Amino acid sequence: IPAVYALLPNRKTTTYSYLFHVLFSEAKKIGKTFAPILIMTDFEPGVTRAIALDFTEKNIQKGCFFRFCQAIYRKVQSNSLSTAYLEDIRMRSVIRQLMALALVPHEHVSLLFDHLLEGLDEHEREQLDGIFKYFETQWLRQTNMWIVFSISDRTNNYSEGM
């Protein structure tokens, strides 16, 4: 169950650290320990740095699945592939399979990524080269943050409608 939502004035590491210190302090006042087992965030560098600084536990941060998919789609847009994505079923399927990699166990991601790439014909490879290179450099190097396989609440996007 989500326990804390925070509306903050900016995305600075110091702001996130201040929030965490307030939460540590408030928990201590009531005889509790603020020790979350999971912190669901957007993919903001400031919050990632603050979590690394303020928590000793490793891998407690998970990125929002919605934001992960949104980032990939934005790359589709910046590579001028929006029309192809909307009109070409195969193109849309490949992009969605990339997005769906967040839903499988860590140990299968690299193999499935390679399998997806190998399944492309020459024209598709050429069209999607920028997307696959982006995915490889941006996402494959740190899968622990965006793999949401074993998590029941895979997004924090519903908090934006509040």
User: What are the respective helix, strand and coil percentages of the chain, to the nearest 5?
Assistant: 65, 5, 30
What average pLDDT score do residues 64-78 get? 96
Angle between helices 89-100 and 106-118 (to 10 degrees): 160
Q: What pLDDT shows up at residue 4?
A: 81
**Residue 104, pLDDT above cutoff 80:** yes
Q: What pLDDT shows up at residue 156?
A: 64
Q: What pLDDT shows up at residue 1?
A: 55
Q: What pLDDT shows up at residue 72?
A: 98
What average pLDDT score do residues 98-120 get? 96
Identify the weakest region by mean pLDDT among 50-54, 77-81, 156-160: 156-160
Q: Name the pTM for this structure.
A: 0.85
Q: What pLDDT shows up at residue 158?
A: 58
- Count Cβ neighbours within 10 Å for each residue of 146-162 and write b for 16 or more, e otherwise: bbbeeeeebbbeeeeee
Domains of the chain, residue spans: 13-63, 66-144
Q: Let me know: does 72 contact 79? Beta carbons within 8 Å.
A: no
Q: What pLDDT shows up at residue 125?
A: 96
